[in-house]
Chains A and B, each alone.
Chain A
Amino acid sequence: MLDQTEGYMTADGRKIGGVVMDMRNITLRFGGVEAIKNISFDIREGEIRAIIGPNGAGKSSMLNVISGFYVPQEGEVWFRGSKRPPMKPYQVAQQGIARTFQNIALFEGMSVLDNVMTGRLNNMKTGLLQQALWRGAAEREEVENREICEKVIDFLEIQHIRKTPVARLPYGLKKRVELARALASEPKLLLLDEPMAGMNVEEKEDMSRFILSVNDEFGTTIALIEHDMGVVMDLSDRVVVMDYGKKIGDGTPDEVRNNQDVIDAYLGVSHD
């Protein structure tokens, strides 16, 4: 199923597999505004792929195209070797893609546990009536799914807030709960939209550790958008750089760091 082109070895000795997601000549327009202009790049199995760029570069739009929320006017999205037709977000989720949001999108009034459980919704098959009676299959299903959620809670070290309503949590923890919800669906591909925005150094370090552990422990492929250059360069295996909807760089952190276009985009060019 996977693209047969060979994978590569990362600097820290992880083996990266074939192409999981292939974006081919994507163009996305909102009316007259071209948010993404003819961009192609791929995401390979098991890698941590970063999308970076200045404000308004089109990064979040790109992530929304990957997650199936936006349908591009031109171009094709290939997932696991086949072209993906326009889909509803829940269908994308069923394919094994999960995401977190830039501005946290949790159910504020619900407990952390309930929020994480919503990540299992696609795996619940019993109907409303069965759920209400909560006998037999419904109960079994709940127990099985709860166990998976509890493992995620343990993994992300949020046991102490299991029963706390999300609205009462500080920002950094909410971000972690969102990651937990995404992980609960046991995704193959995890999309993180600015997982570290607005965090202090300690929270960033924690989050980086969790992202690496997720990748290491479950072999999850991760695509992330991030502003903090230090974090991006440390975490990711390959980086796509966007500016004004165009791709201006693609490669390993070192390659990207030394790319003149990227430097110009970030530092600006003098116009004299």
Chain B
Amino acid sequence: MTQPVNGDSGLRSVPALLRRNAKTMAQAPAYREKEFGIWQTWTWTQACQQAESLALGLIDLGLDTGDFVAIIGRNRPSLYLSMVAVQMAGGVPVPLYQDAVADEMSYVLQHCGARYVIAESQEQVDKVLEVQDQLSELKHMVYLDPRGLRKYDHTHLHSYDAILDAGHAKRDATLPILQQREGKLDYDSTCVMLYTSGTTGKPKGVVLSNRNIIETARASSDFDKLTSGENVLAYLPMAWVGDFIFSIGQAYWTGFCVNCPESQDTMSTDLREIGPSYFFAPPRVFETQLTNVMIRMEDAGKFKKWLFDTFMAHARKVGPAILDGHSVGMMDRLKYALGELCIYGPLKNTLGFTNVRVGYTAGEAIGPEIFDFYRSLGINLKQLYGQTEASVFITQQPDGQVRSDTVGVPSPGVEVRIGDSGEVYYRSPGTFVEYYRNPESTADTKDPEGWVATGDAGFFETDTGHLRIIDRAKDVAKMSDGGMFAPKFVENKLKFYPSILEAVVFGAGRDTCVAFINIDMSAVGNWAERNNIAYSSYQELAGHPRVLEQIRLHVNEVNASVAQDEMLSGCQIHRFLVLHKELDADDGELTRTRKVRRKIIGEKFEDLVNALYDGSASIYTETEVTYEDGRKGKISATLNILDAEVFPRAAQIAAQ
């Protein structure tokens, strides 16, 4: 698939790509979904027919050009096809995060004035119904899974199948309208609108055109030489730009197959069964997998553990070099081949990574140990740096130039420059059109020449041309003694310990740094089990003196490592506490993509921050928590505050 895309070739929209694939790759698999224990396949022809019928059905239901259609649910072929169908019918698809609570959904649905909602199940329908009073524009709702919905009032509620049937039945009458609307789609018409997760404020609707999506898909597919033979597993939220680019943009451009897991809990089994050749995951997924492997190895027999440790040590030594094609001695190669047979191969198989040709991690910094672990196994894991406004790609690492501390070189077609303040700016064909109904923010972010401010501070390495990201520009601040404060830098170091799930460091404008820490329940729970520590709840485990002692050791080690950094040695953590609850997106502490909302956490737990600074040894606190169904409750706890060992600075701060 290397023909150029431009105004002439006719491939000016995602529906046009679908139609092309239905012609050129008619019988090749477009989607697979595991249902009733079997992988069900949609060929490109079937996919195209389904999208068309749905588009006809939606037009029949009254969908007008420019209407916004919200799509809520987990990754399923029928929902992906509905995004394309909506565009075919002249509407604008708006995928939403399926785990958002009703209030969050209400904001987005109101903001875009969604006329239609396509929801996966009763759970999602219920959430929309709960807030429907606030949604004056909402006309109809369509659901995919009829379970539990039979008794609902069906005047404005329709089953997905009924819409397909209606579309099919009235095909002759509606087709001309569809053809006319589809014919009007061009490079500049809106392909999708995605809401940012909103680290700082309310989510913003990012309008992406067909040009953004298709140009980006083309350039990035060429970069990694993706072919129609790839297999991907679609499990990341459909509302996230990455999933849109991978599972629609690149998939439609190159024609590869998108596989959807059976349910959220079967991810690892499905991953193993599919064995994707192209894989994308945020660092957290890799961390969790590694933690699970390590937990299993702790429980393994002595010989197995010895075998694992020996070969993993060897893999760390030569694995990345072999992957990058550097020269490696004969004996080392032989030993690596033996390791592949005994350890690496079976391990990759268990993880579902046997066939991975290209893997990406993005969203946050990944721990060097974690990154190296996967690369040493021979998995070509790379980093990329991007954001919704750029249709993902800003920089990425070319094969053979992969390192854990950089995010790579500018992606093809992307220009990157560093502003005077150190902020990273970019300009690319993927640059978003605008923030919907928010010209001020659009103007703030994108200048008239098309340069977009990322909000991240970074610099180019002079010798390699790779970009390094320091932190969010807003988060980088000065401490009271003038030293630089970069919380993410310290937090990432902390998070690389399997027992630490999340960390939030405070210290802007203060003389010392302090931290909140969230333990990782599975890792710490397993450790507790092996050490005969009894506990009955998360809160009890998080407050256990021996757990605190373990965490203190980790913090000390991090401090020792931070002290080595000339610029940031002032960011050592003087005091910390282990939080009594896990930070959660339902409580507004994390974004839906699980990024820390520092400011909100700081305000919400103000009493704890004060206690960290005023020297008290413990603090009683009450916190409101939101359950998954939206109900609220209160938990209270007395938290111990611990002092960490602080190391002398490696060098005096230059900034003084």
Contacts and interface: CB of A to CB of B under 8 A. Distances in A.
A48 to B, nearest CB: 15
A151 B36 contact: yes
Interface stretch (B46-54, B258-266, B334-342, B387-395): B258-266
A160 B269 contact: yes
B521 to A, nearest CB: 15
Chief secondary structure at chain B's binding surface: loop
Contacts of B269: 160, 163
Contacts of B265: 159-160
Contact of B147 (A150, A153, A155, A159): A155
Question: Which of A151, A154, A155, A162 has the largest count of B CB atoms less than 10 A from its CB?
Answer: A154
B151 A159 contact: no
Interface in A147-180: 147, 150-151, 153-155, 157, 159-160, 162-163
Interface in B51-80: none
24 contacts: A13-B151, A147-B36, A150-B36, A150-B37, A150-B38, A151-B36, A153-B36, A153-B37, A154-B35, A154-B36, A159-B262, A159-B263, A159-B265, A159-B266, A160-B262, A160-B263, A160-B265, A160-B266, A162-B37, A163-B269, A213-B148, A217-B147, A217-B148, A217-B150
Interface in A100-127: 113
Nearest to A13: B151
Contacts of A150: 36-38
A157 B37 contact: no
Given A157-B263, A159-B265, 14 more contacts: A113-B37, A146-B37, A147-B36, A150-B37, A153-B36, A153-B37, A159-B37, A160-B262, A160-B266, A160-B269, A163-B269, A216-B151, A217-B148, A217-B150
A118 B265 CA distance: 25
Chief secondary structure at chain A's binding surface: helix
A162 B38 CA distance: 12
Q: For chain B, which range describes its interface: under 10, 10 to 19, 20 to 34, or 35 or more residues?
A: 10 to 19
B613 to A, nearest CB: 37
Interface in B145-183: 147-148, 150-151
Nearest to A205: B629
Contacts of B150: 216-217
Interface residues of A, number: 17
Contacts of A163: 269
Contacts of B38: 150
Closest 9 pairs between A and B when the two form their complex, measured CB to CB: A160-B265, A150-B36, A160-B266, A150-B37, A159-B262, A159-B263, A159-B266, A213-B148, A154-B36
Nearest to B268: A160
Contacts of B263: 157, 159-160
A139 B38 CA distance: 16
Contacts of B148: 213, 216-217
A210 to B, nearest CB: 10
Interface string A131-151: 000000000000000110011
A146 B38 CA distance: 11
Nearest to A146: B37
A211 to B, nearest CB: 12
B78 to A, nearest CB: 15
A154 B36 CA distance: 6
A153 B36 CA distance: 8
B523 to A, nearest CB: 19
B37 A213 contact: no
A154 to B, nearest CB: 6
Question: Which of A146, A154, A159 has the largest count of B CB atoms less than 10 A from its CB?
Answer: A159
B432 to A, nearest CB: 37
A76 B285 CA distance: 61
Nearest to B265: A160
Nearest to B628: A202
A161 to B, nearest CB: 8
Nearest to A201: B627
A154 B262 CA distance: 9
Nearest to A148: B36
Contacts of B266: 159-160
Interface string A7-37: 0000001000000000000000000000000
A245 B147 CA distance: 39
Nearest to A152: B36
A89 B150 CA distance: 34
Given A159-B262, A159-B263, A213 B36 contact: no
Contacts of B262: 159-160
Nearest to A150: B36
Nearest to A153: B37
Interface in B247-263: 262-263
Nearest to B267: A160
A113 B36 CA distance: 12
B296 to A, nearest CB: 14
A147 B262 CA distance: 15
B148 to A, nearest CB: 6
Question: Which of B35, B37, B38, B262 has the largest count of A CB atoms less than 10 A from its CB?
Answer: B37
A217 B265 CA distance: 24
Nearest to B145: A154
